[in-house]
Amino acid sequence: MRRSESTYDAIVVGSGASGSWAAKELTEGGLKVVLLEAGRNLDIANDCPVDAEVGGMGIVGRVKSAIQGQHVQVRCGAFSETTKQFYVNDRENPYTTAPGKTFVWIRGRQLGGRLHMWLRHVPRMSNYELKAASVRGDGVDWPLAYEDLVPYYDIVERTLGVYGKPARIPNCPDGQFIGPPKTTKIEEAFLTNVEKRLPNVRVTSVRKVKCDDNMVPLPVRLALATGRLDIRTDAVVSRLLIDARSGKATGVEYIERLTNNTQAVHGKVVVLCASAIESARILLNSASTTHPSGVGGSSGHLGRYLCDHVVHIQNGKVSEGDVEPGFASAGAGLYIPSFCEREPKNFPGGYGIEVAIGRGSPVWAMGAFGEMRPRFENHVSLDPIVKDAWGIPVARIECGHSQDELNMIAHMKRTLPEIAAAGGLQIDKNSDRLLRRDIASRLLRSLFLTDYGAFRPGGAIHETGGARMGDKPDNSVLNSYCQCWDADNVFVTDGACFVSSGFQNPTLTMMALTVRACRFIVEDYAKHVS
Ligand SMILES: Cc1cc2nc3c(=O)[nH]c(=O)nc-3n(C[C@H](O)[C@H](O)[C@H](O)COP(=O)(O)OP(=O)(O)OC[C@H]3O[C@@H](n4cnc5c(N)ncnc54)[C@H](O)[C@@H]3O)c2cc1C
């Protein structure tokens, strides 16, 4: 093994939504940082627009891409001719699942991670989710409250620029908005009609990060501007290097993607931002005599409580006269934060609904994203046999829906048409008949939908959990600053640290938690370590 001599103040693993923010915060705080990214650097000549296309690719293109090695990635609705290069090659990056429990794991490996595909809808979480046990009486309390996150939500929103309309909805707090997002006229009419006819249901515009045409994420550009950031792309991190006496990390080991050479880099602090399942995988693969079940494994909770949003989609037609051009790749215009707590129901938590109407084509679509109950048995472990293209044990994912999620899906199926009708939309009871009509279509449908009409777990692309935060070392892997109880110079700030999924799209909260953890590192931690 060839060992690099450099020692950094901090090592950040992964350059996507969380890693880009970790690099910014740590370098702006004065630390010398190396950012390790498993994927390639961006190829400005060949990579295309940052804004993901909605509508995706036809079946022939998907079959072709599947044959070329992206057989899981093609199940993502937003997979398209112009974005397919941002999704991983599933042959090089395999994973295994428990029998009968399909998990659709959609990933991006390049500088910027999945920021090249995401649709940029960024609702804040609230105490209804962060303090679910105390406020709602179901779910789990996080070791921090909404008030602890507000300054960091503010920083992220002000830096990126977020469109939104203040709406004073208790479980969807307003943020630092730069102005309202664009909505179609028929969406505005829908909003007015639903709020008038369904007093329990609040509708607002989506909260949307301003489109940034630069291929390098803004936080990475800001980090580079400090002169304190080194970026190593094509660096596939396999494990943490651990000092046997102190149990702390001394650095990380990585494999060079193109040469397969093993390298090491040393640092005083390691911040894992490789995405929820990947970060759990790295912690598990770092088992040693000091950490026999992996770093963070002493509690028995490492890899546990994996969640993904529970998704159900309905759609229908609108007249050509209601179609407005210029919206084709803009995602949803409206957002209905969870209203479930104001209704009788037989499942914990709730769901939010994204609504798109007349955006470039004569259709409406409502996508419900629901909170999945964090359950111990839904977990990530290391597959004992299968390895990826670089010889690293792959993740074995076991994640299924319980009766709670089935009840939530049944509620969505009943309620979405009621809301659509209240908003003046036409309901087509057979809207998915095309996908049901023959064996091939049914087979296709089963690749991403369960027989009860939900996205298969993973399909929401909102994975969280695996190294959850908590108030005690025996109930969690990390404390409220995303700091590992078992090795206090290891931090995990991506979705792995989530205690529960909430119903909100998770990325803004990942970014805010990253800023909070990194400011803690700069102010309270780095100065004490030699
Ligand atoms: C089509 C689509 C639409 C979406 N829309 C939204 C939305 O509207 N709102 C929302 O909140 N979320 C959305 N998401 C989800 C969002 O993209 C993710 O939540 C977010 O990117 C997760 O951030 P992350 O930093 O954890 O992971 P990523 O952004 O995936 O970044 C992880 C990085 O780590 C790198 N990495 C992984 N393993 C290793 C390793 N071993 N060594 C080194 N580097 C490694 C990867 O290459 C990658 O660059 C969407 C996702 C997709 C695909």
Strands 229-232 and 363-370: unpaired
Quick one: which atom of ligand 1 is closest to the CA of 507?
11
The closest residue, in CA terms, to atom 46 on ligand 1 is 109
pLDDT at 401 over 80: yes
What's the average model confidence in pLDDT over 205-219? 95
pLDDT at 525 over 90: no
CA of 412 to the centre of ligand 1 (A): 27
pLDDT at 93 over 70: yes
CA separation for the pair 248, 269 (Å, rounded): 9
pLDDT, tens digit, 9 for 90 and up, residues 451-493: 999 999 999 999 999 999 999 999 999 999 999 999 999 999 9
pLDDT, tens digit, 9 for 90 and up, residues 235-274: 999 999 999 999 999 999 999 999 999 999 999 999 999 9
Strands 379-387 and 393-398: antiparallel
With a Cβ cut-off of 6 Å, ligand 1 is lined by 13-19, 36-39, 52, 76, 78, 106, 108-109, 113-115, 117-122, 235-237, 273-275, 278, 282, 461-462, 494-495, 505-507, 510
44 or 405: which carries more pLDDT confidence? 405
CA of 24 to the centre of ligand 1 (A): 17
pTM of this structure: 0.96
CB < 8 Å & 24+ apart, contacts of 339-346: 339/200, 339/201, 339/202, 340/411, 341/128, 341/136, 341/171, 342/200, 343/200, 345/407, 345/411, 346/407, 346/411
CA of 425 to the centre of ligand 1 (A): 34
CA separation for the pair 272, 330 (Å, rounded): 31
CA of 17 to the centre of ligand 1 (A): 6
Quick one: which atom of ligand 1 is closest to the CA of 281?
41
Q: What integer pLDDT is reported at residue 166 of this predicted model?
A: 97
CB 353 within 8 A of CB 123: no
CA of 465 to the centre of ligand 1 (A): 14
Q: What integer pLDDT is reported at residue 433 of this predicted model?
A: 57
The pLDDT confidence band at residue 1, using thresholds 50, 70 and 90, is very low
CA separation for the pair 301, 277 (Å, rounded): 14
The closest residue, in CA terms, to atom 31 on ligand 1 is 16
Burial class of 407 by CB neighbour count within 10 A (0 to 12, 13 to 18, 19+): middle
Q: What integer pLDDT is reported at residue 342 of this predicted model?
A: 80
Helix axes 507-520, 17-28, angle to 10 degrees: 30
Q: Which of 84, 234, 275, 355 to mutate to test the pocket of ligand 1 (most atoms within 8 A of CB)?
A: 275
pLDDT, tens digit, 9 for 90 and up, residues 311-349: 999 999 999 999 998 886 568 999 999 999 888 899 999
CA of 429 to the centre of ligand 1 (A): 35
pLDDT, tens digit, 9 for 90 and up, residues 513-524: 999 999 999 998
